[in-house]
Amino acid sequence: MDKNIKRGIYPGSFDPVTYGHLDIINRASSIFDELIVAVLDNKLKTPLFSVEERVNILKELTKDYDNVTIASYDGLLVDACEKMGVHVVVRGLRAVTDFEYELQMAQTNRKLADSKVDTIFFTTDIRYAYLSSSTVREVAYFGGDITEFVPGIVAEMTYKKFN
Ligand code: PNS
């Protein structure tokens, strides 16, 4: 791996991807030479969107960024980091309530990776501070308007899931 290339990985469930996630992708892609957005294929949970759907949606929404690639992983994030040759994890912090979980995850990953994986945090843009994939799913489920939370194609696909 070329050590001069700054490569970052932005992992998540992205079920579905929101404007908050897209804002982090936009900002992280301007800091890293290469940004890998990695979708967790979590065998312990039943997601609304399959991993293939989430990967395809992200590919479509990031097609104009030449330094962003979309991948998926299962198992430990640190194993995915090793396979992909990445040492920096990107996460968004919306509020203090995120902090405890994110700190624990960052420290666990650092320990698991023998200090070879660090996490950096982007503070979520204030416009998206309240946003989460789970509230998007819930609002859509009850027929509410999610068009301010997610791009049009995502809104359409999310409503379809509940029809
Ligand atoms: O979007 P999310 O659900 O908040 O993202 C959480 C995610 C997917 C980054 C995290 O749960 C993850 O990477 N899980 C994979 C399993 C793992 O590595 N666990 C150890 C770290 S606590």
Write the CATH number for 26. Answer: 3.40.50.620
Which residue has the least CA distance to atom 8 on ligand 1? 12
Kindly state whether residue 148 falls inside one of the protein's structural domains: no
Question: Is the distance from CB of 124 to CB of 93 less than 8 angstroms?
Answer: yes
Kindly state whether residue 152 falls inside one of the protein's structural domains: no
**Domain range holding 63?**
7-126
Which residue has the least CA distance to atom 21 on ligand 1? 105
Q: How many domains does the chain have?
A: 1
12 within ligand 1 shell (Cβ under 6 A) = yes
pLDDT tens-place string over residues 119-161: 999 999 999 999 999 999 999 999 999 999 999 999 999 999 9
Kindly state whether residue 61 falls inside one of the protein's structural domains: yes
**pLDDT of 5:** 73
Angle between helices 51-61 and 152-161 (to 10 degrees): 160
Kindly state whether residue 140 falls inside one of the protein's structural domains: no
Question: Is the distance from CB of 69 to CB of 36 less than 8 angstroms?
Answer: yes
Kindly state whether residue 2 falls inside one of the protein's structural domains: no
Query: Residue 51 pLDDT > 60, yes or no?
Result: yes
Query: Residue 163 pLDDT > 90, yes or no?
Result: no
Kindly state whether residue 59 falls inside one of the protein's structural domains: yes
Kindly state whether residue 116 falls inside one of the protein's structural domains: yes
**pLDDT of 2:** 60
76 within ligand 1 shell (Cβ under 6 A) = yes
Kindly state whether residue 162 falls inside one of the protein's structural domains: no
pTM for this model (two decimals): 0.96
**Residues 108, 51: Cα–Cα separation, whole Å:** 24
pLDDT tens-place string over residues 65-106: 999 999 999 999 999 999 999 999 999 999 998 999 999 999
**pLDDT of 4:** 67
